[in-house]
Structures are given as structure tokens and as C-alpha cells.
Chains A and B, each alone.
Chain A
């Protein structure tokens, strides 16, 4: 195996493993897309306020 062979092997493996590792990291820790339909903006209704509404 020549030095060029080692460089070729390391670069090729590094590229695919790096890409795969980055994908796994993004899948596990990446930002989730903003959810458009969530209920966080709805005010909670307390029992003592029901008649006021």
C-alpha cells in the first residue's frame, strides 16, 4: 500500500463516515422544524373563570 493509497483510503472513509456521523448527530440533536399547529397559545381555563367566558 503506497502513501497515496493510504491517503485515498483515509479520505474516502473519512468522507463517508463523517457524512454519516453528521447525519446521525443531526437526527439525534438537530433543531426540530417549527411546529405550526400547537396549542401553547390557548389560555388555560380555570374552573372559577368558566362563568366569565
Chain B
């Protein structure tokens, strides 16, 4: 084994902020309010909080527990940790799947991050103040939606420079390591993000009725558009609402990807995980419900009305909001602040997508930081380049977003919680979680993890398959099954070559990861065997 220095968080606050930073992302400020407005604030918030309590918090605790356990065994990647914990091939493949997922997520997330940085620059130079500007057309040109390869340019005002800049920033901080890189970014970035959000929140809450000729478009109406309960009973009977709420919790808390597992593996053996896990989840909820829920939708409603509010993150964030800021008094300043906020949120999340892969490469190939960062640069450069080139209609990005960020994450999280609850054992896992805990973890958490959490996840995943893959209209009286666009993209006469190529790319990467895992498993077994020898001698 190489003599890599052992890394660790320099403080508990650093670990909490890093996990919270991983969770707080663009979705907190755009996706959450758009979904809440679409499904009606009352029913959605009930489903959202039920999902938070039933799967969000327990899964966070599960991942923190497994991570700290794995760190104690000397592993930091989900693959290594699960291999050490279970000593079965399926376990390391499950961990490997988590690593492939986050790397694939990074392929497209870095683009969204670079858009935020580029939009902050354009806000600063006054691009969005141009009279008569078409914000939709600007985004189409900027991100290259019109044709493949049309955004591959490096002029200062185009996306290429910001993509490279975002790429370098991420790799630089990951190269610096856990305490000097990721922890530092999150210790500064998350508070800065909250300050920026508070400044914008004050602006939004003092908008009143900016256009006296449209008295209906006022702040209270904007807040009501998101928060008015609507028909709660009908909403709660809508399976799509539950799916959207649970998906948002998943997406938002960064669960099911192995990110928290990796971060928690850098804790010490008796460090608290119960209160730390809950604190990071709570910090994410404050940013999502408390800040995201009060900024985006009310601001868009006040200036553009209900019709402008789209449930698409890309459309709302990069076509609607620049228009909103262009109409807002002092809008140039607030646009800079808003897109910097989104960039910081994206940066703390994208760093968490790289660290599991860094840890895996170092453990699997027994290499140091320079070599692992070099390999990761090549892999993520190829992947991000692929997504960048195939930009027409954002097909490659959408394909990864659907099959990886949604579908694969559900599968991974469900397998993970079943393994924890049924193979490690929920009671044993709970006892492990209680070690060093600074809050009492009640006994009911064990059956929650063993029974309720997997059942809830399976039901939600079943709904997801029925709605988004099989295309059921959720009607028993006149059922219809129309395969969705995502299926049509991959199979049949209307298949999209780009979508097929994207999935092929993902499968090749997964295959390479599994090959690497096989190679690594032999050395891990030797290492685990030698680690156990002293205790064997002692017992004999």
C-alpha cells in the first residue's frame, strides 16, 4: 500500500458544512420552488416533509454511519467501504455504481455550474440590461441548443471560458484535499451563499407592486402562487406529486450517491454522526424552504406573471430569471449576486461529486493525489466534452439527468438501505450510529430503516417506472401506456443517436469501473486479511 497521508476533516463544523454544501445546490433555489408552485403548495409541502422524515433523515444517518464505519476500516470510497463491510462481490459493485453515478452527474452538472458563472459575468458587464433582448434566444445561443457543437467557442463572453474556469476551480480544490480544499471552500462558500441569498430575499420581499398597471402581480400574490394550499386532498391522491416530492428530497439531500458515505469516512471513530447528519440536512432545508421558497417564484410572478413560471430548472433559471432581474430596480447588482449564489451552490455540490472518484482511484490503483487527479481530469474532461459537443436540445444532458440523476440514484439508494437494514442489521447499525452521538437516536429509527424506508423507496420507484418509463396515465378505468420520450429516445424508429451514444458512454464507463474494481478487490482482500492477522493471533 502506498504511503498516502491520511486525510481528515479539521473540525466537526467543517464536516457538517461540507455535507450541507454538497446538498445545497441549484435545485434548492430553482427546482424546489418550481415544483411546489406546480403541484400546489399545501399538498406538495406535506408530501415533501413526509419524504424528508421517512427517507431523507434516515438515509442521511445510514450514509453517515456506513461512511464512518468504512473510514475506520481504512477506506474512503463507497466501493472500498462496502467491500470491506460485506466482503461480497455485489457490495463492491453497488459501491462502484455510486462512483459511476456521481462522475456521470459531474459530466453535466459542471455545465450548469459554468452557465451560472457565465451569467454572473454577463450580468456584471450589463448584457442583460440590453433593451429588447430575447433571453430565451440568448440561452439557446449560449448553451448551443440549436445545433451540436455550436457552443464550443472560447471567446471571453462564451461558455467555453467559463467551463474551463469552473473545471480548473473544481480540480484545484479537490487536489488540495479534504481539509485544505473542500472544507475551506465550504466553510467560506456556504456562509457567503447564505448572505447573498438573504440580500436578494430582502430585495424580493420589498418589491411590493412594481408595475401599477398590473396590480394583480404583487408580492403577496407571488407568495400565494407558491404557498396557497390549493386542493390538498386531490393533491395528496396524485402519485406524481409524491414522486416529485420524494425525488426532490433525494436530489436535494445528495442521498443515494455515496457522497455522504465518502465525506463521513474522513471522520474519526468516535465523532458524532447523529447530530451532524441531522444538522447538515436541516441546513439544506433552511436554504431550500426558507430561502429558495421565498425568492425565485415570487420574484418571477411579480414581474412576469404565472405563465412565465416553468417547472424546468433550465428554463426558469436561465431564461426567465435574467428577464426578471432586467426589470427589477437595481437588478444588475441582484443578478450578479443571484448567479454567484447559484455558482457557489453548484461548486460545493460538484466538489462532492469528484471526491468519491478521487478516493476510489487512490484506493483501487494505489496511487497518490497527483495521479488520481490527472486520471479524473481525463475522464471528466472526456465526459464533459461529450455533453458540451452534443448540446442540441441538451439531449446528452437530459439523457444523463433522467437515467442517472433520477433512475440510477433511486436504484442505488434502495439497494443501499436494504443492505444496511437487512444485512448489517438495523439494530447493529443503530448501535454503530449511536457511538459518540450528541443526540439520542430513538429506537424507532431501526424499524424505520429496516421496513418503512425500503418500502417507501420501492413504492416511489415503482411509481417512477410506471410514470416515466412505462408511461401509465394512472387511470384504472381507462388505462393507457404510452412509452415516454426517454424510452423513445433509446428504442424504436424515432431513437435519438445522441441519447443512445450517451447511454453507451455511461455503460463503457461503468464497465471500466467494474474492471478496476475486480483488480482492486484482490489487493483490498490482502489488506483486510493482513489487518485481521494480529487479532487472529491474539484470539488463538
Contact A12 B223 (CB under 8 A): no
Does A2 count as interface, using CB distance less than 8 angstroms? Answer: yes
Contact B228 A5 (CB under 8 A): yes
**Distance to closest chain A CB from B404 (angstroms):** 28
Partner of B289, one of A1, A4, A13: A13
Cα(A37)–Cα(B308), bound, Å: 61
Cα(A6)–Cα(B228), bound, Å: 8
User: For B13, B227, B272, B279, which residue has the most chain A Cβ atoms within 10 angstroms?
Assistant: B227
Does B438 count as interface, using CB distance less than 8 angstroms? Answer: yes
Collect the chain A residues with CB atoms within 8 Å of residue B42's CB. 4, 8
Does B41 count as interface, using CB distance less than 8 angstroms? Answer: yes
Partner of B45, one of A8, A19, A26, A33: A8
**Please, which residue of chain A has its CB at the minimum distance from the CB of B43?**
A8
Contact B224 A2 (CB under 8 A): yes
Cα(A6)–Cα(B229), bound, Å: 9
Contact B228 A16 (CB under 8 A): no
Contact B282 A16 (CB under 8 A): yes
Does B113 count as interface, using CB distance less than 8 angstroms? Answer: no
Collect the chain A residues with CB atoms within 8 Å of residue B12's CB. 27
Cα(A33)–Cα(B349), bound, Å: 31
Contact B438 A20 (CB under 8 A): no
Contact A1 B279 (CB under 8 A): no
Q: Which of B261-286 contact A (CB under 8 A)?
A: 270, 272, 275, 278-279, 282-283, 285-286
**In which size bucket is the chain A interface?**
20 to 34
Contact B290 A24 (CB under 8 A): no
Contact A4 B229 (CB under 8 A): yes
Partner of A5, one of B223, B286, B439: B223
Does B436 count as interface, using CB distance less than 8 angstroms? Answer: yes
Does B49 count as interface, using CB distance less than 8 angstroms? Answer: yes
Q: Which of A1-53 contact B (CB under 8 A)?
A: 1-2, 4-9, 12-13, 15-17, 19-20, 22-24, 26-27, 30-33
**Distance to closest chain B CB from A13 (angstroms):** 6
Question: Given the known A-B contacts A20-B285, A30-B439, are A1 and B290 also in contact in the complex, defined by CB atoms under 8 Å?
Answer: no
**Distance to closest chain B CB from A40 (angstroms):** 17
Partner of A4, one of B228, B278, B283, B290: B228
Contact B438 A31 (CB under 8 A): yes
Does B293 count as interface, using CB distance less than 8 angstroms? Answer: yes
Cα(A8)–Cα(B16), bound, Å: 29
**Distance to closest chain A CB from B64 (angstroms):** 14
Contact A23 B279 (CB under 8 A): yes
**Distance to closest chain A CB from B417 (angstroms):** 22
Collect the chain B residues with CB atoms within 8 Å of residue A27's CB. 12-13, 16, 275, 279, 438
Return the 9 tightest CB-CB contacts between A and B, nearest first: A1-B224, A5-B228, A23-B279, A20-B282, A16-B285, A5-B227, A4-B229, A9-B227, A19-B282
